[in-house]
Amino acid sequence: MDKLIIQGQSKLFGDVLISGAKNAALPILIGSLLTSDKLTLTNVPKLFDINTTVKLLQFLGVGISKDEDSIELIAKSINHIDAPYDLVKTMRASVLVLGPLLSRFGKARVSLPGGCAIGSRPVDIHIRGLEAMGAKITIDQGYINASSEHLPDAKLLGAKIYMDQVTVTGTENLMMAATLARGETVLENAAKEPEVIDLGNCLIKMGAKISGLGTDKVIIQGVENLSGTNHRIMFDRIEAGTYLVAAAMTGGEICCQGVDADQMGAVIQKLQETGVKIRIDKDKITIKSDGRLKAVNLKTLPYPGFPTDMQAQFVAMNAMADGVSEVTETIFENRFMHVQELVRMGAIIDIKQNTAIIRGGEELCGANVMATDLRASASLVLAGLAAKGETIIERIYHLDRGYESLEEKFNQIGAKIKRIN
């Protein structure tokens, strides 16, 4: 199993080209199931989760060819409507095949998904929404069995669906299902994340009729069929945020290229509160830090609030910043597993219910630590970069799920990171 060895306290300087967004690419890849035509995607990141999704789609019968950063998908000859456990156990986003398969083919059988161990992310909202559209759904031996074959032409029916909590994958699953349903579907309390908008814009290019993207009320008018298109995946705002925090912690200057600062407002604001200097240009963000940071309080919230996927990175930063801070997690109930590893490196952090209370100003020291989930892994890399001495991070396969060429990108701007088996 691979490990990362990090020599700390190297200042980071240079440009980083930000990759395509994992959280946009996954649902858009799965959206290929909605048409028999060719869907061509560019700016697709090279990640373990992307490979997992490609394997799942190939199992279902999607024809796939890859180029350097593009993927062509043709879902003309689907020969399975089931997503087995072995193919979905490592990735929760795999549940997104449920809506498209059901909507286009009238039935689907999808294993309850796996993924990071950061708390329960139930699929109840997905199921209730599809039931409101007329589907019959049962759960048996760990599988969701869904059918619309009892409906006229096996077509789902438009419905008004209120989601009792904001859910990104729930919004995406129901929006994809609604594109081929009969009549109008209204999703209330919908997720507003840029990745949801990116999926919606791709579906619109394919012929879907969708309005209200970026608001909490998304309206979809069902159409008979969708066609192929070309689409470029948006930038990964979490990857960009991770590099910005790295510069802040190490006292360097980094320019993140290929980004849209308007979609990173909460992260940029919190970084500015630490005292760093940030310059925003058309498609890049430059951060300059002298390494002396002020601790910041924050609470994770659905977009446009502070993203839960940046919480762990800010906890690591607050551990060395001056002052006492509170970081409150409202999205997932088990997302402080990185804290015990940061404590091994000298951080002083107490957990009270869903809040981490961090006494900053301590020098972090290198240690042997273990990654527990994707963003926890990133926080340990950042801590290792800022710490005195050598840090060894085990179980880094989590990192490969969400960060493309992480050690190569960091080493190009002055880090000293080595991967060993």
Q: Which residues are catalytic?
A: 116
On whether the CB atoms of residues 332 and 118 are closer than 8 A, the answer is yes
Q: How does DSSP assign 288-350, residue by residue?
A: E--S--B---EEB-STTSB-GGGHHHHHHHHHHSBSEEEEE--S-TT--THHHHHHHTT-EEE
Q: How far apart are CA 376 and CA 335, in angstroms?
A: 8
Find the angle CA(255)-CA(258)-CA(259) to the nearest 5 degrees. Answer: 85
- When computed from its CA atoms, the radius of gyration of the chain, rounded to whole angstroms, is 22
Q: Decide: helix, strand or coil at residue 384.
A: helix
Helix (H) or strand (E) holding 286: strand 284-288
Tokens of 96: 């997104």
On whether the CB atoms of residues 57 and 83 are closer than 8 A, the answer is no
Cβ neighbours around 279 below 10 Å, total: 11
Q: How far apart are CA 203 and CA 57, in angstroms?
A: 18
- Rounded to 10 deg, the angle between the 98-105 and 168-179 helix axes is 10
